[in-house]
Amino acid sequence: MSDAPAPVPPLLAARGLCFSRNDAAVFGPLDFAVDAGEALLVRGDNGAGKTTLLRVLAGLLRADTGEVDIEGRRTGTALRSRAIAYLGHLPAFKADLSALENLNFLCGLHGRRQERRPEQALATVGLAGYEDTLARQLSAGQKKRLSLARLWLSPMPLWLLDEPYANLDLEGIELVNRMVQAHLDTGGAALVTTHGAYAAPPVRTRELVLGNPQ
Ligand SMILES: Nc1ncnc2c1ncn2[C@@H]1O[C@H](COP(=O)(O)OP(=O)(O)OP(=O)(O)O)[C@@H](O)[C@H]1O
């Protein structure tokens, strides 16, 4: 009998993943894996399928075929939506709740890292002083920062970030990069979509390029 430790499975592994709309392929078949401590940069032109892929992985859309394992376990869409932190294009906040109320509400729904508190999260993303500001009164960049505060609080090891740099100023772009780096350093993983036009994450251990399926 061997004493070798069992190999650690990737945090996320996808095999043969295909998605189509109205019988037209959007992407696939795709095979890729992301280990703890790695970022996967998902690149592609407008309409290439980056958002669709992240929504499939987050369990918001159902793939036509293929399998997704998280930490070596096969996961269906319902389980995935509870194992992944997803930062989408549009902020998912309640317009008439304050920034702090929104974070408290979302932490109540999805949990949070025990050692991190919503007030701290707002300060981390540069929103100290905006605790009582209604979400609808925040600018687009401030809303993105509030989404980042939610991400910073999330206990999930796997982050799916759809165009995380959109609407952010240079300091905000650096904030995203610092957050991703810190997340990877503590054993997390991240998939990040970008057109590649103006920003890329600090660590780019793997890259997946989507294009027009043949
Ligand atoms: N709700 C929808 N209904 C029908 N088709 C859609 C829908 N959402 C996206 N599509 C189509 O699916 C394809 C992939 O779109 P997707 O949003 O995933 O691309 P993307 O790579 O994220 O693009 P972008 O860089 O512009 O954000 C596109 O051809 C788009 O027109």
What is the span of the domain harbouring residue 171?
6-83+157-209
Whether 10 and 54 map to the same domain: the answer is yes
For residue 212, which amino acid is it?
N
Residues 99 and 121 in one domain: yes
Tens of pLDDT, residues 16-53: 999 999 989 999 999 999 999 999 999 888 899 999 99
Q: Are residues 46 and 62 in the same domain?
A: yes
| Same structural domain, 51 and 118 | no
Asked if residues 18 and 27 have their Cβ atoms less than 8 Å apart, the reply is: yes
Arithmetic mean of pLDDT, 176-196: 90
211 alpha carbon – ligand 1 mean position (Å): 12
| Residues 15 and 74 placed together within one structural domain of the fold | yes
Q: Are residues 77 and 166 in the same domain?
A: yes
Mean pLDDT, residues 135-164: 95
Centre of ligand 1 to C-alpha 97, Å, is: 30
Domain-terminating residue out of 109, 125, 155: 155
d(CA 57, CA 67): 10
Atom of ligand 1 nearest to the CA of 49: 18
CA distance linking residue 42 with residue 49, whole number of Å: 10
Is residue 10 located within the same domain as residue 79?
yes
How many domains in the chain? 2
Counting from 1 in the atom list of ligand 1, the atom nearest the Cα of 48 is 21
Alpha carbons 117 and 43: distance in angstroms, whole number: 33
CB-neighbour burial class of residue 131 (10 A; exposed 0-12, middle 13-18, buried 19+): middle
Q: Domain for residue 131, yes or no?
A: yes
For residue 31, CA distances in Å to 13, 69, 103, 170, 194 come to: 8, 12, 35, 33, 19
Strands 39-43 and 189-194, by their bridges, are parallel
Quick check: is 214 in a domain?
Answer: no
pLDDT at 207: 86
The mean of the pLDDT values for the chain is 90
55 and 77 in a common domain: yes
Does 1 reside within a domain? no
The tokens of 101 are what? 């109320």
102, 134: one domain: yes
What confidence score (pLDDT) does residue 203 get? 64
In a domain, residue 174? The reply is yes
pLDDT over 70 at 2, yes or no: no
Please check whether residue 71 lies inside any domain of the structure.
yes
How far, in Å, from the CA of 29 to the mean position of ligand 1?
17
Same domain, 11 and 76: yes
Alpha-helix residue ranges (DSSP H) falling in 62-111: 77-81, 99-110
Share of the chain above pLDDT 70, in %: 92
Tokens of 147: 């989404």
Please say which residue of 155, 180, 200 terminates a domain.
Answer: 155
DSSP labels, 134-192: BGGGS-HHHHHHHHHHHHHH---SEEEEESTTTT--HHHHHHHHHHHHHHHHTT-EEEE
Claim to verify: residue 151 and residue 165 sit in the same structural domain: no
CATH of the domain at 186: 3.40.50.300
